[in-house]
A and B are shown apart, each in its own frame.
Chain A
Amino acid sequence: MARLSYLTSAHIIAGVLLALPGLAAATELRGYSVDGDAIPQSLTGRAGDATRGRALVVERSSTCILCHSGPFPEQKFQGDLAPDLSGSGRRWSEGQLRLRLVDASRLNAETIMPSYYRLDGLQRVGAVWRDKPILSAEQIEDIVAYLVTLRE
């Protein structure tokens, strides 16, 4: 449901951003601006909800803990392909975390971290996932809100 609501409420922002060069592929996504290695502004214009964010991080379908581990003692199966999420909020600013979720490939073209909020440059996406970002803008803000609380 979150996905549908961002699609409808994003039209005005997207319309403004479409006037800028290089944004044509992002018609269904909210625009954002990258500053250095960060996206300083919330994708939704609002702060996310850290409690919902934690629930999303440990949910298998979000894909986070397939590769990452973290302070989730109740989760028996966690991955070790990627850094432990403990201390994320100490290592990175909110804006840095946001860009790493939205499109980590901007920082490292060879990364295995998927771009959670990107539609372009993908090949052969399965029909049920086509033209949808992995996470909605709201979900990304919730996860960012949770990750910044991980100080240790």
Chain B
Amino acid sequence: MRSFGAITAALLVAGAVGATEIPQAERRSGYSFMKPDTRAIQDEDTANPGMLWVLDGEALWKRKSGATEKACADCHGDARTSMKGVAARYPAFDKATGRPIDLEQRINSCRSNHQQATPLPFESRELLALTAFVARQSQGVPIETGADPQLAPFIAKGRELYMQRQGQLNLGCTNCHDDNWDKRLAGSAITQGHPTGYPLYRLEWQSLGSLQRRLRACITGIRAQAYDYGAPELVELELYLMGRARGMALEAPAVRP
């Protein structure tokens, strides 16, 4: 129908140029797009279903696990002090692999290396619970992800993926979350895509879920091939998004529609 190499290149360039990044002062958490009754669920620990995972995570934190018979608490002590601010720095550069890893991967790497326990599957109740418990200790802390200069090339890759149109619907993240965040997709508010509250409880899921789960759902929504859990592309996208939200307060465990 046409020579698509050149046109694709032109589209990609146009996509990148057309995207307008959100000025710092106009950044908004997904929370601010929610109705008051949904906000109220997040605001009250006794109403927030995400707190059930946090409580499970607290129990797991103290439970001995793996060949070393060690609990997280045996090395890290009281999470309220040792884990404060940690989730606000993830994904972070991992020296062992030379790549960024997200909080779930950090927990699993700690399990493998220090507890000699089997890694927990992505989206398993236990991994979500531990992640939620650790992230909860940073509630209200400003996001600092991306400060390490070793992360720069990975942030750039994440940004490239964010800008790139893909899937049968041929859309990039930026087309909605930079250019149309004040609009509605069918009945749903399009947010700015700042991942301030993960892991979070989605009413649609009736469960807590990770940022990777949310990204995979969005990628499937544009009818593109979703990346596998733990894929470098997903971690780079998480990294770019967290860096883009730098300075915004962490809300985990947040509630979203």
Contacts and interface: CB of A to CB of B under 8 A. Distances in A.
A126 B220 contact: yes
Contact of B10 (A60, A109, A120): A109
Contacts of B165: 123
B96 interface: no
Contact of A81 (B2, B183, B220): B183
B205 interface: no
A41 interface: no
B222 to A, nearest CB: 9
Contact of A125 (B8, B168, B175, B183): B168
Contact of B226 (A63, A81, A110, A126): A126
A23 interface: yes
Residue from B168, B171, B225 having most chain A Cβ neighbours under 10 A: B168
Contacts of A60: 186
Given A112-B180, A115-B170, A126 B8 contact: no
A114 interface: yes
Given A22-B2, A26-B1, A110-B15, A122 B183 contact: no
Contacts of A63: 169
A112 B188 CA distance: 17
Given A22-B1, A126-B224, 4 more contacts: A123-B164, A123-B170, A124-B224, A126-B225
B187 interface: yes
Interface residues of B, number: 35
B11 A114 contact: no
B2 A120 contact: yes
Contacts of B15: 110
Which secondary structure characterizes the binding site on chain A?
A: loop
A105 B186 contact: no
21 contacts: A22-B2, A25-B2, A60-B186, A77-B188, A78-B186, A78-B187, A79-B185, A81-B184, A109-B7, A110-B18, A114-B171, A118-B1, A120-B1, A122-B168, A122-B170, A126-B167, A126-B223, A126-B225, A126-B226, A132-B168, A134-B168
A23 B3 CA distance: 9
A46 interface: no
Contacts of B2: 22, 25, 120
Contacts of B1: 22-23, 25-26, 29, 118, 120
Contact of A129 (B10, B179, B223): B223
B29 interface: no
Nearest to B221: A66
A121 B7 contact: yes
Nearest to B171: A112
A127 interface: yes
Contacts of A22: 1-3
Given A127-B225, A129-B223, A114 B170 contact: yes
Contacts of B224: 123-126
A110 B1 CA distance: 19
